[in-house]
Amino acid sequence: IEPFGGAATCLGGAIRDPLSGRTYVYQAMRVTGAADPTLPVSKTLKGKLPQKKLVREAAAGYSSYGNQIGLATGLVDEIYHPGYVAKRMEIGAVIAAVPQKNVLRLDAEPGDVVILLGGRTGRDGIGGATGSSKVHTEKSLDSCGAEVQKGNAPTERKLQRLFRRPEVSGIIKVCNDFGAGGVSVAIGELAPGLDIDLDKVPKKYAGLDGTELAISESQERMAVVIDKKDRARFLKYAAEENLEATEVAKVTKTPRLVMKWRGKKIVNISREFLNTNGARQEASAEIVLPDEEHNYMREPVSIGNEEKSWLKTLSDLNQCSKQGLSERFDSSIGAATVTMPFGGKYQKTPIQTMTALLPVLNGTTDTVTMMSYGFDPYLSSWSPFHGAVYAVTSSIAKIVANGGDMEKIRFTFQEYFQRMTADSRRWSAPLTALLGAFEAQMGYGLPSIGGKDSMSGTFEKIDVPPTLVSFAVDTGNVGEVITPELKKTGDKIVKFTIETDEYELPKYDRVKELYTGIRKAEKAGVVKAAYALDEYGVAPALSKMAFGNMLGVRISEDVLPEELFLGESGNIIAEISDESVLKSLKVPYRVMGEVTDDGLFTHGKTRIDIIEALEAYEKTLDPVFPIVSRGSDKKVGSPVFLSKNVYTTRFRNRNPKVFIPVFPGTNCEYDSMRAFRRAGAETEIKVFSNLKEENIKESVAEFRKSIDDAQILMFPGGFSAGDEPDGSAKFFATAFRNEDIREAVGKLIDRDGLVLGICNGFQALIKLGLVPYGEIIDAQLEDSPTLTFNTINRHISRMAYTKVVSNKSPWLSLAKPGHTYTSPASHGEGRFVASEEWIKKLFDNGQVALQYADPDGYVSMDGEWNINGSFSAIEGITDPTGRILGKMCHVERRGEGVNLNIYGEQDLKIFEAGVSYFR
């Protein structure tokens, strides 16, 4: 009905839940289900939006929220099955962490106060939770459209910042998020006795009645219980984060939930009644056994023509590239992403397990978290029991292939089934799926610790496929992570096959032995790459492993064609360097072939060129989710400007101070702070408060003082309002044109200070005129260079290769002129645009600092490498002195153990150069 808002709510709500435990969410996974989005609009089901619109708008909604709030979405996948034409599936899974000492679990006591934090209340979201559980019909568009919440990611970002502060989390006794039920539940669950004043609840607009105030949901509001003596201190902390905070309730001795509106009690219920949990319900289930023959409902692969079968499998909706979808989601923010979504020199090998370092603010860590998922809708349609067993098994196999230890895995399950009725046979699918998941947990000795379900997957007479998705979570060491792209010519390809019983179910003890053996081989360093197989067999998995570095594979002639295109979840293929180690470890395996450098997939007389295979792999969803913009291979000049007179400062400082301002929408301040601290600088972060007029005046005064005390001014990246034009750069530009702040910036420049702006910060520099002019100007001139929307017309998140083409800037004093580096890019409007006159002037003056290039340093307009279509492939420019640098790529998002599956030099040493300039 409203795919953008619904998907945004999916992620906002997923963040909201762990936030109530004061944990910091640092990585997300998105798994969705849809019908075929490549079908023409004319084949749209009556009463439905076209699938192409649904998948695009939902992706835009989820990515908009995640990109704005500053959450790395480490893995994105969409599952296609005709049953999801009934109702789309949208799952958001997140990982959060917190130092144990920061969380107190206390009881609310009479006299404590309840403070409402965050956004204001409106009518959007009333009935949202119950609405999502309704059966939809052709009339749903008219009756249910207003149930979707309108998210506010920048406000939830402020909540994350506030709760991350130990001095704040340490005085929160109890906390709850505003999910289903709004105030009624969020505050109603906090204590046995509560007196809630609905008139104090901040409103988006006038006219809301008591019921609306009591039940409106949102993901950017939290309710906290504070000791009365800590009230003033807590409100002060909230104000420092530019957050509205209002006392709306008191904890009472009497065990009753009381709500007042306009001075009258409109709710007065005893806690004893609320604790009864409503009526007991029961249902009968009749088990429906699967057919003896597998009936996967998908078109079988013909084994006759091997080349045709290979290309057809790669172009299958559930095997083809999802890169154009995935790269809409910021995957690198937080500088903790260990494996980028696509790896290898050419960034074409997809990962199966998202991996991230723990989000420590101070110091370093080598501890990583891993998350994978398992699910096959076709297998589950044949047998929900088998589908659940192999969902669990597949999620384990992916963790093992990633270098994880299966003994530490915990699961969370997401279930999605047709609407239940009095028909006992309809209860068969959820019951048998849960039994399958239970058997797998008992068999492997690994528990699930949570989950979520929905029994609303019905539209008219169409049902979603029986869906139980297994998410597996693990911890490990970054030094033991295995990335899936093939590495070296001559290495062997081996297959590890799980044993099954007469019912085609895993022999759990034998599978555990196999996975333990694989883990030992990984720790011994013999496994160079690994990939968990699925029902589509070896061919697509080997292809994906090869695409990253464009290597070939020669498959042994004793491998039957059936094995290439038919498989079983739980099996793993791997690239190994020493077969003798596997033999010594007694790990059962089979040699399938070897890695070659000829760019061919070879099996007997079959020869498949990797370029042809890649085209088949990428063409299916390209009309829906384009991977690159259609640029040309036109060469762009990249002369390296070498100056003998690089600017030096008159003022030395062993520990220069960096001021990092934060505005609504900013989300890269933590990464920037860590990068400068690692380089040896002191940092200061201040949030610009604009809640009230007096807050603005106070912020201006504080900003001026901070700039006066600093040697470096850093404009960090961020987003605002769905990455609208200018984003939070408009806040930067407005504030920094204030007379006091503008004067302070001028003085910093006059005393040889440095200024750096990255991504959205680059946009701020452009709008202010600091680049290319070197000073803040009254308004951006009509002919000035600017940044605008990417030519692909969507957000881009990937690693970009950039070539250093000038040594004029002190920021690049430690980089090699003419050398190519790779850095994370994540932006919706990073395309540099300027007239020919300006471009010539910038090059002639050495103000073009970096250009987009391919891995070998070749600069062109090819959309594969000039990722946003920038004129002359310009990625970063400076002012005339070189002391003010603006660039798009996030050089702050690097560190030890991140981006392990990315090739090339990743450290431009910009932050070290900035500190060195003053030393």
- State phi, psi for 111 to the nearest 5 degrees: 100, -20
HEC secondary structure over 247-292: EEEEECCCCEEEEEECCEEEEEEEHHHHCCCCCCCCCCCCCCCCCC
- pLDDT at site 296: 58
Task: Give me the catalytic one of 147, 563, 892, 912.
Answer: 892
| Model pLDDT, residue 910 | 98
What's the average model confidence in pLDDT over 70-87? 97
Give the dihedral of Cα atoms 470, 475, 479, 482; nearest 10 deg.
-10
* pTM of this structure: 0.96
pLDDT at position 299 is 67
Task: Please give the share of the chain, as a percent, with pLDDT higher than 90.
Answer: 84
User: In whole angstroms, what is the distance from residue 11 CA to residue 61 CA?
Assistant: 9
- Find out whether 397 and 569 touch, Cβ atoms under 8 Å: yes
Q: What is the pLDDT of residues 295-321, one digit of tens each?
A: 655 666 666 789 999 999 999 999 999
Q: Binning pLDDT at 50, 70 and 90, where does residue 629 land?
A: confident
- Write the secondary structure of 839-898 as one string of H (helix), E (strand) and C (coil): HHHHHHCCCEEEEECCCCCCCECCCCCCCCCCHHHEEEEECCCCCEEEECCCCCCCCCCC
Mean pLDDT on 728-732: 73
Q: Is the dihedral of CA 472, 477, 483, 484 positive or negative?
A: negative
Rounded CA separation 889/825 (Å)? 5
The torsion angle over the Cα atoms of residues 298, 301, 302 and 307, rounded to 10 degrees, is 150
The DSSP code for 499 is -
- DSSP secondary structure code for residue 479 in this structure: G
- Over residues 476-499, mean pLDDT: 98
* Coil/strand/helix, residue 177: strand
Active site residue 892: yes
Calpha distance 370→350 (Å, rounded)? 15
- CB contact at 8 A, 459 and 48: yes
Most confident of 124-138, 453-467, 694-708, 721-735: 694-708
Instruction: Find the helix or strand (DSSP H, E) in which 827 lies.
Output: strand 820-827
What the block records as the tokens of 508 is 């759990």
Two tokens, residue 229: 């003596």
Q: Above 50 in pLDDT, residue 379? A: yes
**pLDDT over 90 (residue 2):** no
Q: Assign 3-class secondary structure to 188-256.
A: CCCCCCEEEEHHHCCECCCCCCHHHHHHCCCCCEEEEEECHHHHHHHHHHHHHCCCCEEEEEEECCCCE
- Measured over the CA atoms of residue 853, residue 858, residue 861 and residue 862, the dihedral's sign is negative
Report whether pLDDT(729) > 80. Answer: no
**In the predicted model, what is the mean pLDDT of the chain?**
93
Q: Is the pLDDT of residue 453 over 90?
A: no
Residue 320 a catalytic site member: no
Mean pLDDT of 898-904: 97
pLDDT at 11 over 80: yes
Q: Please compute Rg for the chain using Cα positions.
A: 28
Q: What is the 3 state secondary structure string of 528-556?
A: EEEEECCCCCHHHHHHHHHHCCCCEEEEC
CA–CA gap between residue 760 and residue 887 (Å, rounded) = 9
Question: pLDDT for 637-691, tens place per residue?
Answer: 999 999 988 999 999 999 999 999 999 889 999 999 999 999 999 999 999 999 9
d(CA 153, CA 71): 10
- Position 727 pLDDT exceeds 60: no
Nearest of 71, 81, 61, 89 to residue 29 by alpha carbon: 71
What are the pLDDT digits (tens) for 248-292? 999 999 999 999 999 999 999 999 998 887 778 889 999 999 987
Which residue, 78, 61, 18, 224, is CA-closest to 151? 61
Of the residues 522, 759, 827, 829, only one is catalytic, namely: 759
Count other C-beta atoms under 10 Å from residue 739's C-beta.
9
- At 830-879, the pLDDT tens digits run 999 999 999 999 999 999 999 999 999 999 999 999 999 999 999 999 99
Q: What is the pLDDT of residues 586-625, one digit of tens each?
A: 999 999 999 999 999 999 999 999 999 999 999 999 999 9
The answer to whether residue 145 scores a pLDDT higher than 70 is no
Question: Pairing relation of β-strands 712-715 and 754-758?
Answer: parallel
At residue 722, the pLDDT reads 43
